[in-house]
């Protein structure tokens, strides 16, 4: 729970800083800062054991394919009587 609380606090601080910066600066500076913060935030999140939605979907699709292959192998073994 401590990791989630610290992550929430980090997100809150970053949001406040981005809001403050975006009020008085040009968009190119905000974009550069946004990209840098996103990279650092992604690294922090990954270090806490989380994955992006894209990575989750890829892993989920892989797991489903592996489950299908395992089911086919189990059927083959059951039909051959090798159990």
pLDDT single digits (tens) 1-48: 456 677 777 777 877 777 776 666 566 666 777 777 778 888 887 887
Strands (E), 1-83: none
What is the C-alpha R_g of the chain?
Answer: 22
Together in a domain, 42 and 11 = yes
Q: What is the pLDDT of residue 25?
A: 57
Distance CA 3, CA 9 (A): 10
Together in a domain, 9 and 41 = yes
Structural domain that includes position 10: 1-50
Together in a domain, 42 and 8 = yes
Give CA separation, 45 vs 42, 54, 82, in Å.
5, 14, 46
Tokens 């809150």 label which residue?
A: 12
Express each pLDDT in 52-70 by its tens digit: 788 889 999 999 999 999 9
Together in a domain, 38 and 75 = no
| pLDDT, mean of residues 71-75 | 93
Q: What is the pLDDT of residue 59?
A: 93
């Amino acid at each position: 729970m401590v990791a989630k609380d610290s992550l929430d606090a980090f997100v809150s601080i970053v949001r406040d800083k981005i809001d403050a910066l975006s009020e008085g600066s040009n968009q190119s500076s905000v974009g550069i800062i946004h990209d840098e913060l996103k990279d650092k935030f992604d690294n922090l999140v990954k270090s806490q054991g989380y994955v992006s939605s894209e990575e989750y979907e890829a892993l989920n699709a892989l797991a489903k394919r592996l489950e299908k292959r395992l089911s086919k192998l189990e059927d083959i073994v059951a039909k051959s009587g090798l159990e």
